[in-house]
Structure 1
């Protein structure tokens, strides 16, 4: 028995945070009914590259769900949705604050129809506060919380991260955690609740060390100067002779000593305290003398916490992740094309989904 078997979810969300959250619920057995606007549906359907009739982004995030279309601005929308609302356990939405209330689909309206409903609102800045209704994206959330400001390239400018940190780690994942907590609370009390998930709020957790240092020492961490922002030779990216890179993280003394021995670092540079810049330069010169393949073999099986920076293609084909069977599930399109499903952090024992699953066509479950 999957842990969420029998749980029904009405998903009004689009793009990434909400759909990823409901994907995880689906993988654990929940029934997800995606509510979309007629004609166009979720904005993500229109993205490229294509995968059948829709985008590959949409396919990855909406595997195994169902889709209905309804004009939420219609006076009949609430009446049409009422039978579903009365049997729904969870609602997920990510409109700006107040929008669902104006549509007659806010928490107060729905909880009057179903007191046990768990209503999860995912927004950029939360349901209250001066910026609650401001338009923004992932980059804005990490910029305004100070997270982006702690990264810096060679010219001192912040570096664009390749991951949508706020959408996933500040939106989808906290939504899942709180939905599961709310389900547990409902088991005890019978009552539903309204969850206010702010993507920006969630970013401060990632800077626990910076917040702690600032408050304990009155020193505000700076990009390029701290242990994990580039200030230490023990947590650094070094260029190899063939223009690839080594990610070196021998933080603890035992790992550092092993690392220094393996790269044959001169004795005068092995004590890095108070002269980190000189040591970084010396280590960089050593790493630059050999290609990535040499360092990969050199570090293999050694306690040094060092890796050659892999491409995504190399990582997927790597023996470790192949062994872990991260890509054992697949998605099929309406044209018969098949790709690997998105690996999600749901334990295999909770997932009894078919190895190959499709994604919903727009409104394909309206009649059902």
Structure 2
């Protein structure tokens, strides 16, 4: 089983999370992904705890199914190796600050001259243009500048630091994959590649889908707890008697009726339809009273039989045991290379023809250097010379 992207070959210069998550998706779908890594400047993801068998679990997951070629790109011989690789690769994915690849002689224009069909993807915090293009940033900064954090939180405590990297993964990784696959389709028609500039801040800004549309068209500024979906209505989390939480998303009348009936308060259902903030606040208070009368287990049992859009807030360990996630097979056993396997999150995409089985966890730096160079026609003697000169590892 080769996967739907088996025809694509990717050179991945990225590190940390955004680029590697994008190339993980490509590799899971069958693309041949070759990481180009520095032999001296380690990807910090490799040392991020926790570790399993001496390897960062995050690295082992994000870089599974990828080969690693360790090159010192500050040396001319290493740059020449990349230029040779580009001749038969479809995609370059990089995550440096603007201008870095150009200074190395590996910018889009230089590589397009070698391979006009090349699709070149740059993921950065702020994009290739604008006054912030050279500024450092992280996920929390992109969410702050894009406006998302201004109404994601509570009035009394401010914005929430999300437990997942929304701008990194949702913004950088997923938009990069969408864009590059669109470019692949366009190339099938035109025969030429193109350059893709992915700004994680731009992409995070697009997540203001409903609130942003309302502001741009009607001038309604979203704030903490003043929108239907950000705590300004009964759509929220509620605490059980024993301190656990459940999510309530009973927006439609039919779901609201089931919610209130299950709690023994059918008369509350009419309040859920009111757009008035004071009515919503009063309803939330009544719902919280009802939730706090019952334990978490009692509430879970109560709503298991009700189609009310009410679900428990689960820990990761609990989520893994939930029958829905187990039925969807969200975990894969991935070979470590020593005969054993590591449990990892599976590719979430389900294809009717299936996907290839995971081949291996993230590889050591330069684990495939000899193999890749031999494929380019380098002799064992020449490879040894390059290693002694510290061009490769």
1:353 equivalent to 2:391? Answer: no
1:162 equivalent to 2:163? Answer: yes
CA shift, 1:296, in A, is 1.0
Which structure 1 segments of 5+ residues have no match? Answer: none
Q: Report if the CA contact (8 A) 2:233-2:280 is conserved.
A: yes
* CA RMSD, 1 decimal: 1.8
1:257 equivalent to 2:247? Answer: no
| Residues 177-326 of structure 1 aligned to structure 2 (within 5 Å) | 177-233=178-234, 235-265=235-265, 267=267, 270-272=270-272, 273=274, 274=276, 275-326=279-330
Q: Report if the CA contact (8 A) 1:85-1:110 is conserved.
A: yes
Q: Residues of 2 paired with 1:250 and 1:154: CA distance? A: 23
SS in 2 for 1:367: helix
Q: Residues of 1 paired with 2:90 and 2:211: CA distance? A: 39
CA shift, 1:334, in A, is 5.5
What's 2:24 paired with?
23
1:110-156 residue CA offsets vs partner (Å, 9 max, x unmatched): 00011110000000111101111110000000011111111223623
1:13-53 residue CA offsets vs partner (Å, 9 max, x unmatched): 00111111111111111111100001454221122122334
1:175 equivalent to 2:179? Answer: no
The structure-2 alpha-carbon separation of the partners of 1:268 and 1:37, relative to structure 1 and needing over 3 Å to count, comes to closer
Q: Residues of 1 paired with 2:107 and 2:54: CA distance? A: 32
Q: Report if the CA contact (8 A) 2:3-2:356 is conserved.
A: no
CA shift, 1:216, in A, is 3.4
Q: Residues of 1 paired with 2:202 and 2:348: CA distance? A: 22
SS in 2 for 1:176: helix
Q: Residues of 2 paired with 1:138 and 1:365: CA distance? A: 31
Q: Residues of 2 paired with 1:85 and 1:210: CA distance? A: 43
1:362 equivalent to 2:365? Answer: yes
The structure-2 alpha-carbon separation of the partners of 1:166 and 1:203, relative to structure 1 and needing over 3 Å to count, comes to same
Q: Report if the CA contact (8 A) 2:154-2:224 is conserved.
A: no
Q: Report if the CA contact (8 A) 1:28-1:350 is conserved.
A: no
What's 1:103 paired with?
104
